[in-house]
Amino acid sequence: MSGVPVDVSRLLVTFGLVLVAVGLLWPLAHKLGLGRLPGDIVVEREHFRFYFPLATSILVSAVLTLVLWLLRR
């Protein structure tokens, strides 16, 4: 026994699997246009680039909220 509760272990494994799934689906999302929507903020200067995917974040949040809401019904 390592002293780590089983719940924490399951949480870490689940988090790792979600990260792997996101990594595998990222190229598909990029092909669909996610990450370069009109509301995303991009500031480009010499030797500097700042990117904040505001519209993409809102869209992904709305879709995930709808999916989770439908699953709980």
Asked whether residue 41 falls in the same domain as residue 28, the answer is: no
**For 10-61, how does the pLDDT look when each residue is reduced to its tens digit (9 = 90+)?**
888 888 998 898 888 888 887 888 778 899 999 999 999 999 989 988 998 9
**Token pair for residue 41?**
């903020």
Q: Number of folded domains in the chain?
A: 2
Asked whether residue 28 falls in the same domain as residue 43, the answer is: no
Residue 23 domain boundaries? 1-32
Distance CA 26, CA 6 (A): 30
Residue 37 region by backbone torsions, left for phi larger than 0, else alpha for psi between -120 and 50, else beta: beta
Asked whether residue 26 falls in the same domain as residue 44, the answer is: no
Does the pTM surpass 0.75? The reply is no
DSSP state of 3: S
Q: Do 53 and 39 touch, CB atoms closer than 8 A?
A: no
Asked whether residue 45 falls in the same domain as residue 14, the answer is: no
